[in-house]
A and B are shown apart, each in its own frame.
Chain A
Amino acid sequence: MGMPAVVELVGVAEAAPFERVFSLWDEIDARFSTYKEHSETMRIGRGEVGEADFSPDMQEVLALAERTRAESNGYFDVRRPDGVFDPSGIVKGWAIARAAAELRRDGFANWYLEIGGDIQTSGQDEHGREWSVGIRNPFNRDEIVKVLYPHGQGVATSGTAARGAHIYNPHNPAEPIAAIVSLTVIGPDVCEADRFATAAFAMGRQGIVFIEGLTGFEGYLIDEAGIATMTSGFERFLS
């Protein structure tokens, strides 16, 4: 997916568990990437794959996408305004959640997984402390503006991208998402956080209200003037 991916397994010396995670993510990338001509995503986009022949993973992601679309009143949509099929708004979180499930199954308790700013942690870091996550300053990527302690919850941040914005308002595709630049969502797991961060960002300022209304989710929205708005339970993640 062209994004930095980080795997930290506390106290693990052998390479095999790390390789399993990266190998899983490579496979997912090969299947879903919109940058790879022969990925399943691109072949579907070109009409080369009939629905009956979609892979189980693709079906799972599409079902998740459809659920997100319904739950966000259409603000999440894997179909871009230019008609291109693009599930990247949820694949990141889904891929991390898949790796997390495998780590838990294999008995690992303390770890940190990240793909491009979407993060899932478990247990404690190498110093025996709670994992901490900084929210990047959208105006200066060398700074963080908030320190969070997710306590095992998933963290995802949606925003205008360096490579060109990938967030659209499906209800008004011609109008770019103005006024907000970053929305960080904390949810029960990173897959949930990612899909709702993507959906909520497409709502503009209303996105933080949408997150406020979701039980089990908290959010931190930053607008283009550098003013942040947070959901009412957000501050419990500051320590």
Chain B
Amino acid sequence: MKKFLLSLFVVATSAGYVLYQYVGGTPAAADIQTAPIAQTTTTTSGNSTPPPSTATQVATTQPAKSAPVKTQPTPISAPTPAPAPAPAPKPKGQYTDGTYTGSTADAYYGYVQVEATISGGKLTNVTFLQYPNDRSTSRYINSQAMPLLKQEAIAAQSAHVSGVSGASDTSAAFIQSLGDALTQAKA
């Protein structure tokens, strides 16, 4: 059991890194929910924003180009090559080629379900079949004009630091669903 969990963890972290590489690049069309603040702003039609009592006046920007709010799962391809972030022991046993649907996992703010593709015995693709819908997108588009704030895709840093500040892992549901798919691939 322990060995299985270790190999599962290793694969899951590598898969997590693969996914991470993707989101570090240019968001695909399906990432509509990002509706970057720097590019689109809107005028209000109703939804209230908390007015902070200590706020300074913030400059408004040009009216929105509207974006469709429908979100679709997108295949996320692994970049080739995809090195693991840290040296890791090779998982024991090959995966059987094919496509495997993982269980639906609860990420609190929605459900996550992934489909894993194995080619040549390796994980080569992860597709989201379900991921939490950004229902706040339509709210965002209706919200009042927002300032231009700089955005960037997050990217791993290799620097050594004194400490780390972080919210805890929100990828638990992803790993859970992927793990289930990989369990089937190993069988």
Contacts and interface: CB of A to CB of B under 8 A. Distances in A.
Contacts, number: 235
B150 A232 contact: yes
A71 B52 CA distance: 6
A112 B147 CA distance: 34
A33 interface: no
| Chain B interface mostly | loop
B74 to A, nearest CB: 10
B29 interface: no
B23 A140 contact: no
B157 interface: yes
A75 B48 CA distance: 12
Interface string A50-75: 00000000000000000000111111
A125 B162 contact: yes
Contacts of A161: 167-168
Given A160-B170, A178-B134, A223-B34, A210 B50 contact: yes
Contacts of A135: 164-166
Contacts of A140: 13, 16-17, 20, 85, 156, 169, 171
Contacts of B85: 140, 142-143
The 10 closest A-B pairs by CB, nearest first: A159-B167, A136-B166, A226-B23, A213-B55, A73-B50, A162-B168, A134-B161, A145-B154, A182-B167, A176-B109
12 contacts: A119-B165, A132-B160, A135-B164, A141-B169, A141-B171, A160-B168, A179-B134, A179-B136, A182-B170, A212-B58, A213-B55, A227-B154
Interface of B: 13, 16-17, 19-20, 23-24, 27, 31, 33-34, 36-38, 49-56, 58, 85-86, 107-110, 131-137, 139-140, 143, 146-147, 149-157, 159-172, 174
